[in-house]
């Protein structure tokens, strides 16, 4: 029998993780350290995601990966042994909402040992959390083995316990970090960097590295002594009932269309833009607020950084309607009547044909990022007719951040097709954006892109295969294929015209094939301003500069 190569094994492990997760959802519960949980561990270990670095090294705790997931899990997660996944059940009436730093999802600490995740964004959200839980299980077992030996607690663990339980104050931080580094099997430098990254996130979002390591090791030790008190994942009946029904997406889309109808905008040409909620607004308002002359648009944007209230006031005065989501889809929106744009105070770098805008009266619908499979649900519902009336959709633009394969952080990718990772679904389309639309001083790549199951569910072998094989893929992201699936479905059902203009562009937030450039290495900071606003400006030009 022919042995599978690394790429094939990795692709099978991604598929296995998804199939096992779907089966466990139907079952309703599982033990992360039991037989079912170990199947997820096995799949993740075979995959060995780049974002989880040394996860498969039994002697070293993967600190960068740990910081990455703690930014995306609710505060106190490391203290819990029960993880409940539920639909929206009104928990906010009795419990405090805990919002992770870098994920828009409601979580609730329902008791000392149980964390409840409110799932309103589809299966991608479940896969995301399960991946993190599986990774946590692997790391906490390493911590237990290094913090406890056959005699009980190690000397290093006793010292850590004194610090965490406040029996002893931290007088010399570097000494305590050195002690912690011996527990986690990392260098002093690696441990200090992880400590500092969590401190920068703020104690409102996490309990700090000392507390996290101690809690994970303590729980793993207690579970070893009393297996019946170990971890358990539960999927509630309410969650099972709502899966695949678009309940939250339908409510979200209906709210948007009601606003368009109420404001008498529903019959006007609609340009849908999936992006962050600052770039389009800032491009239209930064010059008036910043009062800068002689500076390019990127410097002007930096100048108004932190002036949210002033930017909002100007935008609201000049045609923007701010919609805060109430459907639990966690996708806020801005509706912009372009006829009310402050044309006299636009930055000279923003090219808009005022005559065209006044004549055709386009409306911009800027929607915040969806998450994975949720992109299909919200776009599918948004493009449906409202009370029998079709929306006059003229263009759909998708701007986001993605991992790049042939380039570096800050480069731009223009997809011409989306390939779903793990199956044979592909969606090709005509992207109106061309390399020539962008300045020559920024690297732009054009080609197919991979729509992945999750940020944690890919590795070097899989990505190398997509880059180097005949696919010649340029990057990876989580929503593009889902958006395109909904758009083509809407065209087939004649909910929208078949010639709706499509504008897709991504800027590279990471390169998972390059050491030190994975998502776990941290954000882009101000270096993300140029590619973000370059793409946003080009999209505005495509939409509102017709005839020039």
Which CATH number goes with the domain that contains 332?
A: 3.40.50.1580
Q: According to the model, what pLDDT value does residue 1 have?
A: 47
Q: According to the model, what pLDDT value does residue 461 have?
A: 85
Mean pLDDT (the chain, rounded): 92
Give the tens place of pLDDT for each residue, 223-250.
888 877 778 999 999 998 888 789 899 9
**Do 264 and 387 fall within a single domain?**
yes
Structural domain boundaries, residue 457: 246-544
Q: According to the model, what pLDDT value does residue 424 have?
A: 67
Does 436 score more than 70 pLDDT?
yes
* Residue of 527 and 61 predicted with greater confidence: 61
Domain limit, last residue, from 223, 241, 259: 241
**Do 334 and 317 fall within a single domain?**
yes
Q: Angle 173-184/188-201 helices, nearest 10 degrees?
A: 110
Domain limit, last residue, from 241, 259, 277: 241
Mean pLDDT confidence for 163-185: 93
* Beta pairing, strands 97-98 & 412-420: unpaired
Does 172 score more than 80 pLDDT?
yes
Q: According to the model, what pLDDT value does residue 281 have?
A: 96
Highest mean pLDDT among 28-42, 252-266, 420-434, 458-472: 252-266
**Do 204 and 279 fall within a single domain?**
no
- Structurally, the chain folds into a number of domains equal to 2
Tokens of 194: 């992880």
| 330 belongs to a structural domain | yes
**Do 315 and 393 fall within a single domain?**
yes
**Do 297 and 167 fall within a single domain?**
no
Name, in order, each residue with C-beta under 8 angstroms of 151's C-beta and a sequence gap of 6 or more: none
**Do 36 and 146 fall within a single domain?**
yes
Residue 236: which of 93, 27, 35 has the closest Cα?
A: 27
**Do 253 and 233 fall within a single domain?**
no
Give the tens place of pLDDT for each residue, 80-89.
999 999 999 9
Residue 160 contacts residue 175 (beta carbons within 8 Å): no
Mean pLDDT confidence for 481-497: 96
**Do 198 and 256 fall within a single domain?**
no
Domain limit, last residue, from 241, 257, 274: 241
| 286 belongs to a structural domain | yes
| 54 belongs to a structural domain | yes
Report the distance separating Cα 240 and Cα 27, nearest Å.
10
**Do 97 and 209 fall within a single domain?**
yes
Does 294 score more than 80 pLDDT?
no
Report the distance separating Cα 175 and Cα 188, nearest Å.
10
| 1 belongs to a structural domain | no
**Do 230 and 252 fall within a single domain?**
no
**Do 120 and 252 fall within a single domain?**
no
Does 79 score more than 90 pLDDT?
yes
Name, in order, each residue with C-beta under 8 angstroms of 391's C-beta and a sequence gap of 6 or more: 257, 260, 266, 270, 382, 383, 385, 495, 496
| 378 belongs to a structural domain | yes
Tokens of 360: 């055709």
Mean pLDDT confidence for 150-169: 91
**Do 231 and 283 fall within a single domain?**
no
| 130 belongs to a structural domain | yes
Tokens of 482: 């889902």
Helix (H, G, I), strand (E, B) or coil at 141: helix
């Amino acid at each position: 029998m022919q042995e599978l190569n690394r790429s094939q094994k990795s692709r099978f492990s991604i598929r296995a993780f998804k199939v096992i997760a779907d089966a466990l959802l139907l079952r309703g519960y599982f033990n992360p350290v039991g037989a079912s949980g170990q199947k997820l561990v096995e799949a993740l270990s075979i995959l060995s995601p780049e974002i989880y670095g040394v996860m498969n090294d039994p002697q070293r705790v993967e600190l960068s990966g740990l910081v990455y997931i703690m930014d995306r899990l609710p505060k106190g997660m490391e203290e819990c042994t029960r993880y409940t996944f539920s639909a929206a059940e009104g928990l906010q009436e009795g419990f405090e909402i805990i919002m992770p730093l870098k994920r828009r999802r409601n979580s609730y600490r329902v008791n000392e040992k149980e964390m409840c995740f409110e799932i309103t964004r589809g299966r991608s959200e479940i896969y995301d959390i399960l991946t993190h839980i599986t990774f946590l299980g692997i790391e906490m077992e390493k911590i237990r083995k290094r913090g406890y030996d056959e005699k009980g607690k190690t000397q290093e663990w006793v010292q850590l316990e004194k610090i965490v339980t406040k029996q002893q104050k931290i007088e010399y931080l570097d000494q305590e970090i050195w002690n912690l580094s011996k527990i986690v099997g990392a260098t002093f430098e690696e441990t200090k960097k992880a400590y500092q990254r969590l401190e920068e996130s703020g104690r409102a979002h996490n309990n700090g590295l000392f507390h996290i390591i101690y809690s994970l090791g303590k729980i793993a030790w207690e579970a070893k002594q009393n297996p019946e008190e170990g971890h358990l994942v539960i999927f509630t009946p309410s969650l099972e009932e709502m899966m695949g029904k678009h309940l939250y997406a339908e409510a979200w889309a209906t709210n948007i269309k009601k606003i368009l109808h109420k404001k008498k905008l529903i019959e006007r040409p609609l340009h849908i833009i999936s992006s962050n909620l600052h770039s389009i607004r800032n491009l239209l308002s930064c010059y008036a607020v910043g009062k800068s002359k002689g500076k390019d648009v990127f410097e002007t944007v930096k100048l108004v950084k932190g002036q949210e209230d002033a930017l909002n006031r100007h935008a609201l005065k000049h045609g923007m309607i701010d919609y805060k989501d109430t459907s639990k889809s966690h996708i806020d929106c801005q509706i912009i009547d372009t006829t009310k744009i402050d044309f006299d105070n636009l930055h000279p770098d923003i090219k808009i044909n005022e005559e065209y805008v006044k004549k055709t009266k386009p409306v911009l619908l800027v929607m915040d990022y969806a998450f994975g499979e949720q992109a299909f649900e919200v776009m599918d519902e948004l493009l449906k007719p409202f009370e029998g009336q079709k929306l006059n959709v003229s263009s759909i633009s998708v701007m986001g951040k993605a991992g790049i394969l042939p380039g570096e952080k800050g480069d731009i990718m223009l997809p011409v097709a989306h390939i779903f990772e793990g199956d044979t679904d592909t969606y090709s389309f005509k992207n109106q954006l061309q390399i020539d639309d962008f300045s020559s001083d920024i690297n732009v790549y054009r080609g197919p892109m991979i729509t992945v199951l999750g940020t944690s569910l890919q590795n070097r072998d899989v990505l190398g295969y997509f880059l180097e094989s005949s696919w010649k893929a340029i990057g990876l992201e989580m929503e593009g294929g889902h958006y395109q699936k909904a758009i083509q479905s809407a065209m087939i059902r004649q909910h929208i015209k078949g010639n709706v203009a499509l504008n897709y562009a991504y800027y590279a937030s990471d390169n998972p094939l390059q050491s030190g450039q994975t998502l776990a290495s941290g954000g882009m900071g101000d270096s993300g301003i140029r590619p973000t606003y370059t793409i946003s400006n080009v999209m505005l030009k495509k939409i509102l500069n017709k005839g020039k």
